[in-house]
Amino acid sequence: MIELMMVLALLQDDAVVQKHVTYQLKKPADSKLSVESACYFHPFTTPSGAVVTDVAPGDHKHHRGIFLAWFDMKGKKEADFWGWGMYAPLKDRVIVNRGVKKGDATTTVENHWLAEGETLLKETLTFGHRVEGAASVLDLTYVLSVDADVKIAKGAFSGFCLRMRKDGKATVEGPEGEVKRPAPHHLKPETDWPAQPWYGCQITLPDGAQLGGAVIDHPKNPPALWHNAASIRMINPCITAPGDVVIKAGEPLTLRYRVVAWDGAVPREQLTALAKDWAK
């Protein structure tokens, strides 16, 4: 259990703020988000300070920077914490922060996923950030536990997501270069892209400046297909695309992701090296 008394000063600001990344503990008062949940990262910046994430964009007002949520969860109650509203209820479904503990190199937060006030899932997230050359590196470990089984239904998208800024021109990149596969269909999991150690989005801004962001998967995560959409700057390793995922009572699900933001051209060799290091 996180010691709440140790972190009251952090909670008063409603965010954990670091030089290149901010974790939002509560929905900002002026937010245009269409959901009440916070517990997301934004802004996440490159080493030069350029912001790569986006929150509540006009095309998907429930998207929130770097976040974890699913749209079809069935346990003690059914719930959509993603914000789609197609297959499960949105009303009175909210992810809320219950505590923060700041360490020397990492921060740990505890979040409860509430459905009509009842805890459906407890999330413990530990994250750490550093800069390596032209890359800003954010390491994330989620531990998800339940006291009654929760089934996350098969779907083409949702789960862990990097939603990036939409200005400029974008390409989706992978270890072998620009990926020119057809865009996945949001209702057809079989159209998602095959597994890779990482995928990212490279953006060329109107003034010619370049920046980008990528998600690095971890081999201990459940198998994923990737719902990557250049049109909306979304990078999504989807563990439910291959099939239903069940989190069992007493058997926590651990998910690990590394997110990288960079200035300039795609640092392909560095991303591949960071993926190999992350897999250890």
- 2 pLDDT band, cuts 50/70/90, is very low
Query: From the CB of residue 30, how many other CB atoms can be counted at a distance below 10 Å?
Result: 5
In the chain, the number of structural domains is 1
What percent of the chain is helix, strand and coil (3-state, nearest 5)?
10, 45, 45
Q: What percent of the chain has pLDDT over 70?
A: 96
Please give the C-alpha separations between residue 135 and each of 18, 73, 131, 263, in angstroms, as whole numbers.
16, 35, 6, 7
Closest CA to 84 of 144, 161, 185, 158: 158
Q: What CATH number did the domain enclosing 109 receive?
A: 2.70.98
**DSSP type of residue 168:** S
Residue 5 has pLDDT above 50, yes or no: no
Band the pLDDT of 250: cuts 50, 70, 90: very high
Overall average pLDDT of the 35-44 stretch: 97
Instruction: In whole angstroms, give the CA distance from residue 198 to residue 246.
Output: 25
Given a cut of 50, whether residue 264 has pLDDT beyond it is yes
Domain that includes residue 106, residue range: 4-278
Confidence label for 7 from pLDDT (cuts 50, 70 and 90): very low
